[in-house]
Every structure is written in C-alpha cells, then in structure tokens.
Chains A and B, each alone.
Chain A
Amino acid sequence: MVVTVMTVCLRRLAHNRVELVLAFVVPIAFFSIFAVIFGSGVGTGLTPNIKVVGVDTVGDEQSRQILRVLRETPGLSFVDTAESDDQTEPEKGSTPRQKGSTPRPTPAPDETEKDLRAVEVQSASTSGNALTEQGDSRKADKQAGTSRRQAMELVRRGTATLAIVLRRQDDGMLMADLLSDSSDQVAPQVVSALVQQVLAGIPETSYRVPPRYAKTVSGPIGMPERGMSEPELPGTPSDAAGPPLPLKRVEIVDLLGKGKSNPVVTMYAAGIAVMFLLFGATSGGGTLLEERDNQMLDRLLTTGLSMDQLLIGKWAYLTILGICQTTLMFAWGQLVFGVDLLGHFDGFLIITVVTAGAAAAFGLLLATLCRTRGQLNGLSVVVVLSMSALGGSMVPRYLMSPGLREAGLWTFNAWALEGYDKVFWRELPVSELWPQMSVLMVCGAVFLVTARGLAIRWETD
C-alpha cells in the first residue's frame, strides 16, 4: 500500500510540469540568482566600489596628498560633482526636510563655508584609472566650490554613499569626518579602514602646529560627541618650530540615521511591503484564471461588462487593497517599531499609490500570461522572488555589484524602494519623488496595457 501511495505521488508529479519545475528548476534558479548577488559582492572579499565625495577644508599639502592617495585607492569611486551639480545645488522648497514634514528653508551659505576650499572631488573609474593631468586640474577647478554642506547634500540624496571631509580642529588635529549614510552599514567601516590606512602612511613631519593652535593641543583629546571614533593613529612628532601634531583622527558621522527612532526597521518595512504587494497582486490576478476555468469569465462577458471594465475593476481593487495593506503595515510599524509614518505621510501615500498600482498591473500581467492557476503560482514565485532579490527587497542593493545594481533597476522593486528610501530615510520633499513616480507609473501603464492585449484571446474563441 505504501508503495502504491508513493507510486501514485510520483506519477502525479511526472504528469504535472509546473510542479516539476517548482520542485527542481526553481531551487536551482534561486540558487543561481543569490550566487550571482553574493558571488559578485559580499562574501568574496571584493567589496563593491563605494561612491564617495571628498572635501578638503584644510587645503594644505598634507590634506591634498591624503585625498590624492585616497583617489587612487581601489574600492573607492569618487563622485563627479560637476555632473551632479544640479542635484547638489539645493532648490527653493526642495531641501531635505526635518521630521514633521515641513520643508526646511535653504540655509544661506555661511561665511565660514565660503572660505572653505573643496579641492579634491574627482571621478575615478572603478579600475582606478587616473584622469589626465589636464582633465584632473579642470575638474578640480570646477569642483573647487564643493563644500561640506554640498557634500552632505550629495550623501543625503544618495548620489554618494559617503563624504570624506578633511578638516583641522581648533587644537590642530587633522580630522577626517566620514559623513555617512548609515543605511549602508558596510561602507562606513570599509572607508574608515581605508582612510586610516592612508592617514597612517602620510608623514607628519610636514605639518607643524600654527602658533594660534599651540595652546590647545596640550590637553587630552576627547571622544567625539556622536558617531564612532577610531583610535588615534600614531604619528611622528616633529622637531620643527612649534609643537608637533602627531594625531589624526577618523570620525564617522551618521548623517541620516540621526534622530530616527528605528532607522533599520524603516528600511526593511519598505522592502517587505513591496514584496508582499507583488505576491498579493499576483494572487489577486489569479482570480482571473479561476473565473476563466469555471466559466465565470465567459458569463461575465455575456453581460454588459467588457474586458476593459473587468481588468480596470480588478486593477483598481488590487491597487486599493495594496494601499490598505501597506498603510496598515507601516501603521503597525509606527505603533510598535517607531517608524515615523505620520511625519512622512504625504510622501508615503504618493509612493505607495504608484507602487500598489504598478504591482496590481504586474499581477494582472502575470495572470494573463498564464493558462492555469498552477502556471501562475509557479511563474509568480520565480518572478516575484527574483525581482525582490534583485530589486533590494531581500538583500540591500548596496551589497550588490554595480552590474547587479543596474540590473536591479529593471525591477520596479528597486524604484519603489528608492522612493520609500527618499521619503523615510533621506527625508526628501515630495517633489524629489518624480523619477520614482514616473518609472512606477509608466511600468503600471505598460503592464496594464500588455495584460489587456493578452486578454484579447479570452474575449471570444
């Protein structure tokens, strides 16, 4: 009897192609996807290049040398601020917001910053190819005005993962402030180690404490007020005039996580929400196939209902359901985990509406691609999980190689997550959401129109 039961199960499996695919092909497909993600990023010792922007507020030979060496360090990719000037230059009403959603007025550049010289901001290819000397100098000239504030803006907008700001403290200590986006939990540690390495290799002998600092260097060096501080690096005291300055210090400043009650949850809430929007939409789209199987679709189409109305009705329902689900999830996040939903509700609502709309259209598209519910189940598992993996719902995209990050942009998960990231993490105003909104709306429209085209075959035999 037991053998008969086993035989029947095996024969049923052999007759069901979808189950066969789910049983044997899907695990291999997923293994391959994750192998590509992790194989070219984390776990290989080959950390993906980190996009940084360098700001030299000191402007002496030592600081220039530090940035020069950093620029040639493998693993760092310097952002070309000349190309992102339009992004860094704050527009009226488009500055980052404080919690509470009121746009923060653009502060006038203060006089101190005007004096700061930002010399070393330069793009470098991932292979570390140096620009020509001429081009180098041209870029340096263009970027001479880059300030700490502009660097902060670049990090806040996600153009750069991290800003390396070299400054001299009142006590004469050379500080390397790493203005970081702590949503990337790897980059600050990696850059910190690289900067330390470079600082350790720069001789101290060339620098002496200016007389105005002489009084301040005698006391012990305290820990930074916030952020993480690296141990002091040994330096070689100089025997030249004035007391030598043996100390250089690296400090990681969390630019975006500061003040957020539970920043990590905010990041993951969006990832989970988008993945479940997709699963919910494909499941909802599957009702079309059920209705086709039990003649409900035939019956509905003999009434006054047209296929256009049917699809739009289902799309609207799935969209509203998705909005409610996501809102409920974030509301729960606010109640239990401290996600600041109410403080960002306008941006949340906008990005949730377009994401839910695109997900609903995608669910209908998958349903109209399939013939049976079984096919849809198999296809949706493969597609949704792949999109979620590539798009950053499962694995943060900063862990992926540049190639995979680009591939991820073909999934709308990535765009939706970027939208939520802008709203909750970077606290950018609603007007900054237009790229994500545009992509998601276009995706939704294309999916819906394609689904309608595929559904033509169901209209009449």
Chain B
Amino acid sequence: METDKFAPPSRPLRVESLRKSYRRVEAIRDVSFGLAAGERLALLGPNGAGKTTLIRCIAGRTKPDAGTIELLGKRLPPSGERDRLGWVPQDIAIYSDLTTRENLTAFARFHGLRGAELNDRVGWALRWTGLEDRSEQLVGGFSGGMKRRVNLACGVMHAPHVLLLDEPTVGVDPQSRQRIFEMLDQLRDSGTSILLTTHHLDEAEQCCDRIVIIDHGQLIADGTLEQLIARTIGPSRHVRLRIDRPLDRPLAPWQDGPLHGSLGVQNPPGGQDCLQTRVDDVAGQLPGLLETVRTAGYGVLNVEVHAPSLHDVFLHLTGQELRD
C-alpha cells in the first residue's frame, strides 16, 4: 500500500505515526495521513477498525500512546489547544430542552464568541441549517434530520479550519442526508477541511475528495477513488449475465486475446442461471463473452455491467468476514 507521507505546509491537519492501545488491544497502529486545505476526506473502516479512536485522538478526547498530531503546522498536546478544530460527535450531543437559537448561542459561547460576533454567527448558523423559522422551538421536538443539522451547526460556530465529523448522516433520510452534504459543500467552499467517518460508502464515493481506509488499527489505503481502484481491484467492469436455463455443465474457459488467462467466466454451481466475470474493455470483450455463452447452447436473457466501486474496493481490502 502506498501512503502519502509527505504533507505540504498547506495541510492544516497532519497525523504522524499515531499509536493507541487499550490494555492489550492495539486500537491505532502507526497511522499517518494528512488533510489538505478545503479537502473532504472520508475515513472508512469496518466496525472496530479504530476510526472513532483516531477521531477522538485528533479531537483531544483520547490520549495517544505515541505519534504526533499537527494542526495548522503546530504540534498539538494530547488535549486542549484545539481552538481551530471542530468536532461533531456521532450522537446528537445538543441540549434537547433548549431552542435552536439557545443551543447555537450556548456552543458559540463555549467556543469563546461574544457580542456582535456571536450574534452574527448564530444568524449565519440558522440560515446555514435552514432552521431560521424554527429558531425559537425546542430541539427535542425536531425530526432526526433537523437535530443532525443543529448538531452539525453547534460544532462549527467558531468557524474551525478543520472539522471532524463522526458519522454525520447516521439515521437520517436521503433528503436530510442530501441537505447535510450541501451544508458541508458550503463549508468546504469557505476553506474548511473536513474529515468524516461513515459507513455509507456511496457518500464517501460521491462527496469526498479522498478516502482513507483503516482496518485493525492500521491505515491500509489512502488516495482518491480512482487511485484506490487502480491499486486494488483494477478498472475492470463487473459483468453479470442471466441465461435462459440453469447450467447443466461447466462452460469452456473464456479466452479473448489480451485477457487470456487473466479472467474467465466464473462457472456457478450446477443448477444456477447467472454467470459473472470482469472485463477491462466492455466494447471489445463483451461480444466475445456473449458468443461463448451462445455457442454453448444457452440464450442470454439479461446483461449487467458495473463499474468498479468503493464498495468493491472496501470489501477487497477488508474482506467479507463479519466484524462484531
């Protein structure tokens, strides 16, 4: 795996050789990565991979055993001195018995804002969340999506340079998720660097500039989606054929010029009517594949071609086993 060890000065957040153990369990093992200005980075990993521990170390809530964290070029102590860092926890950590405005005001004060600056920022947050008309209502009565937006806004009242988001869209409907990512787009446009964890791989794929995957506490992939695909499963498309009757015998190996020996039809067990394979050149190779099936005496009912996705990369890197 190739990791970008070089972090240019423009990178507001830089993590170097971070380690953290809980008794005999190594939660974080020598993790290094950087976050560029205005970049949106997805931190992915199976359950228990160490994502939350990593985020908590950066936020100053967990003391790392070794390694360094630099924010805006300044090495951070284990806790404190994180004025330019924002953290939005996974739980909805706001006062449900306060109104939207009261919550925003309270967190702005906790972040040190006062006077006109505070009022301006609260006004901005109400507009940003689209909750101006609900500013005087108690947050406890809001929908899950609205609470998530208030939760997010409370973490950015002090306009941080780097924002840490722990699963910001968990438990919300697609519309709210879309709205939250529009809000994050606005933050990114204003130069805020965002590091978010998520289990929604489509979110990471569509809304993030770069992806970091950790597993068993180790960083196992770091790059853009294209880079990760190229480094792992390759750019080949996944092809799925449905035939008119179950196979009664294995098909002959499919060989086609430059792909000779590298890929072949994965014969399903007898009695199934689906065939799957990968092709690098859909236009050039798909006709030959169809001809092979037809020559064997089967009719093709349906053809599905899938481009490689983050889902494929993720499963390729972390395996299919359950992580409980």
Partner of B59, one of A294, A302, A304: A302
By a CB distance below 8 angstroms, the chain B residues around A305 are 110
How many A-B contacts at CB < 8 Å in the complex?
Answer: 51
| A460 near B93: Cβ-Cβ < 8 Å | no
| A299 near B87: Cβ-Cβ < 8 Å | yes
By a CB distance below 8 angstroms, the chain A residues around B93 are 294-296, 298-299
B255-285 to A contact mask, C-beta < 8 Å, 1/0: 0000000000000000000000000000000
Partner of B61, one of A294, A296, A460: A460
| B111 near A299: Cβ-Cβ < 8 Å | no
Partner of B110, one of A298, A304, A461: A304
Task: Please report the C-alpha to C-alpha distance between residue A60 and residue B157 in the assembled complex, in whole angstroms.
Answer: 88
Looking at B78-86, B246-254, B310-318, the stretch in contact with chain A turns out to be B78-86
Write the nearest CB–CB distance from B195 to chain A, whole angstroms: 14
| B92 near A460: Cβ-Cβ < 8 Å | no
Write the nearest CB–CB distance from B224 to chain A, whole angstroms: 29
Task: Please report the C-alpha to C-alpha distance between residue A303 and residue B106 in the assembled complex, in whole angstroms.
Answer: 11
Write the nearest CB–CB distance from A287 to chain B, whole angstroms: 10
* Interface assignment of A312: CB less than 8 Å from any CB of chain B: no
Task: Please report the C-alpha to C-alpha distance between residue A296 and residue B139 in the assembled complex, in whole angstroms.
Answer: 15
By a CB distance below 8 angstroms, the chain B residues around A299 are 87, 89, 93, 154-155
Write the nearest CB–CB distance from B54 to chain A, whole angstroms: 12
| B62 near A461: Cβ-Cβ < 8 Å | yes
Known interface pairs A460-B79, A461-B62; A303-B111 also in contact (CB < 8 Å): yes
* Interface assignment of A459: CB less than 8 Å from any CB of chain B: yes
* Interface assignment of B99: CB less than 8 Å from any CB of chain A: no
Write the nearest CB–CB distance from B102 to chain A, whole angstroms: 15
Task: Please report the C-alpha to C-alpha distance between residue A22 and residue B93 in the assembled complex, in whole angstroms.
Answer: 30
Interface size on B, residues (CB 8 A): 26
Known interface pairs A304-B83, A304-B111, A305-B110; A461-B91 also in contact (CB < 8 Å): no
Task: Please report the C-alpha to C-alpha distance between residue A461 and residue B110 in the assembled complex, in whole angstroms.
Answer: 22
Q: Closest residue to B90 on the A side, CB-wise? A: A295
* Interface assignment of A331: CB less than 8 Å from any CB of chain B: no
* Interface assignment of B56: CB less than 8 Å from any CB of chain A: yes
A291-313 to B contact mask, C-beta < 8 Å, 1/0: 00011101111111100000000
Partner of A302, one of B63, B82, B91: B82
By a CB distance below 8 angstroms, the chain B residues around A304 are 83, 110-112
Write the nearest CB–CB distance from A236 to chain B, whole angstroms: 79
Task: Please report the C-alpha to C-alpha distance between residue A295 and residue B92 in the assembled complex, in whole angstroms.
Answer: 8
By a CB distance below 8 angstroms, the chain A residues around B107 are 303
Name the interface size band of chain A.
Answer: 10 to 19
| B110 near A460: Cβ-Cβ < 8 Å | no
By a CB distance below 8 angstroms, the chain A residues around B59 are 298, 302
| A295 near B56: Cβ-Cβ < 8 Å | no
By a CB distance below 8 angstroms, the chain B residues around A294 are 91-93
| B91 near A300: Cβ-Cβ < 8 Å | no
Task: Please report the C-alpha to C-alpha distance between residue A460 and residue B83 in the assembled complex, in whole angstroms.
Answer: 17
Task: Please report the C-alpha to C-alpha distance between residue A461 and residue B94 in the assembled complex, in whole angstroms.
Answer: 22
Write the nearest CB–CB distance from A40 to chain B, whole angstroms: 47
* Interface assignment of B60: CB less than 8 Å from any CB of chain A: yes
B91-119 to A contact mask, C-beta < 8 Å, 1/0: 11111000000000001001110000000
Partner of A298, one of B61, B78, B82: B61
By a CB distance below 8 angstroms, the chain A residues around B60 are 301-302, 460
By a CB distance below 8 angstroms, the chain A residues around B158 are 303
Known interface pairs A460-B60, A460-B62; A303-B110 also in contact (CB < 8 Å): yes
By a CB distance below 8 angstroms, the chain A residues around B90 are 295
Task: Please report the C-alpha to C-alpha distance between residue A304 and residue B89 in the assembled complex, in whole angstroms.
Answer: 16
A444-461 to B contact mask, C-beta < 8 Å, 1/0: 000000000000000111
By a CB distance below 8 angstroms, the chain B residues around A459 are 79
Task: Please report the C-alpha to C-alpha distance between residue A329 and residue B295 in the assembled complex, in whole angstroms.
Answer: 95
By a CB distance below 8 angstroms, the chain B residues around A295 are 89-91, 93
Write the nearest CB–CB distance from A155 to chain B, whole angstroms: 51
6 contacts between A and B (CB under 8 A): A295-B89, A295-B93, A296-B95, A298-B61, A461-B62, A461-B63
The 5 closest A-B pairs by CB, nearest first: A303-B110, A295-B89, A461-B62, A295-B91, A296-B93
Given contacts A294-B92, A295-B90, A298-B89, 13 further A-B contacts (CB under 8 A): A294-B93, A295-B91, A295-B93, A296-B94, A298-B61, A299-B87, A301-B79, A302-B61, A302-B82, A303-B110, A304-B110, A305-B110, A459-B79
